[in-house]
Amino acid sequence: MRVLVTGGAGFLGSHLCDAFVARGDHVACVDNLSTGSLDNVAHLVGRPYFEFYEHDVSIGIDVAGQIDAVAHFASAASPQDYLRMPIETLAAGSRGTEHALQLAEANAARFVLASTSEVYGDPAVHPQPEEYWGNVNAVGPRSVYDEAKRFAEALTAAYGRTRGVNAGIIRIFNTYGPRMNPHDGRVVTNFVTQALDGAPITIYGKGDQTRSFCYVDDMIRGIVKMIDSRESGPVNLGNPEELAIAELAALVLQTTGSSSPIAYRPLPVDDPTRRRPVITKATERLGWKPEVPVAEGVCTMVEWLRARQGCRREHK
């Protein structure tokens, strides 16, 4: 197969490129490098089965030749990034998704949209099954991401219904692992970096809000299964192991042996109070479930961030 991965130099996108290259597929990786980084695909650049295109998907996708599958992952994804780039985020979710769908249509290719648990907003139903329609503040600051992804879902469903595109939607819940940008403000990287530096662990609000954290290798297995299927979804992909943010802070302190103090900071506007996926659909239709417990995944994150810090010190 020749797979086009938009956002292919990002955290999930680059792991996805690796998964396809590893099994012998060709990959066309498209990224505008606004939040992704060439470092994430540096080991692939120059390999015969890998092409890199520096394009902004909201302007157009200029990739020639047959494409068999389109994985549409191009978007800012961390709250810090999408709040900094609100219009660009809306453009990637709307025009970017349309360009990616048009390319899939022209090539009769499989199309998979990387949607998000954020389509559930601050959920009034817990845990969240795909049938839940969500609770999103349409004009709040997070809406630039939530509504962009909701529009992207609507567009994907419409191309599936009316244009015959073999299109599917996955809703990705919080995922962590190596290649996350340690400076993009997300909680796992923030806490581990703070703990390793002996800096205060910044808990936003009281820390009783919950998230369910999935390790990247598990997530990538699920995404590849979705791309290989004809499932339209939406399908939740995430690890149902739910933790309060204060519990995550305690786990990070325990794993690192750090004595960092806890510092409480204001809760961001519209921060969802709880989040946990129902993954029955993914299990029944894709034969997928996550395998890495959060305690083990956090350990790997500590090792990865420690090694990065070590490298930086050696190069000073």
d(CA 24, CA 49): 8
Tokens representing 266? 């204001």
Indicate the residue among 102 and 135 with the shorter CB distance to ligand UDP.
Answer: 135
Which amino acid would we find at residue 172? Answer: I
- 34 interacts with ligand UDP by CB under 6 A: no
Are 217 and 296 a contacting pair, CB within 8 Å?
no
Contact residue for ligand UDP among 174, 181, 255, 260 (CB under 6 A): 174
Site string (77-96) toward ligand UDP, x via CB under 6 A: -xx-----------------
Binding part of the chain for ligand UDP, among 33-41, 105-113, 128-136, 201-209 by CB under 6 A, reads: 201-209
Catalytic residue among 145, 159, 176, 215: 145
- 211 interacts with ligand UDP by CB under 6 A: yes
- 10 interacts with ligand UDP by CB under 6 A: no
Which DSSP category does 207 fall into? S
Are 31 and 6 a contacting pair, CB within 8 Å?
yes
Indicate the residue among 208 and 284 with the shorter CB distance to ligand UDP.
Answer: 208
Q: How far is the CB of 142 from ligand UDP (least distance, A)?
A: 8
Tokens representing 208? 């009783």
- 264 interacts with ligand UDP by CB under 6 A: no
- Note if 82 is an active site residue: no
| Burial (CB count <10 Å: 0-12, 13-18, 19+), residue 184 | middle
Q: How many residues bind ligand UDP (CB under 6 A)?
A: 15
Indicate the residue among 140 and 185 with the shorter CB distance to ligand UDP.
Answer: 185
Contact residue for ligand UDP among 49, 132, 151, 204 (CB under 6 A): 204
Which stretches of the chain are DSSP H helices?
A: 11-22, 79-84, 86-91, 97-107, 143-162, 187-197, 216-228, 245-256, 280-286, 294-315
d(CA 272, CA 11): 22
- 294 interacts with ligand UDP by CB under 6 A: no
Q: Which residues sit at the interface with ligand UDP, rule CB under 6 A? A: 78-79, 174, 185-187, 190, 202-204, 209, 211, 245, 268, 271
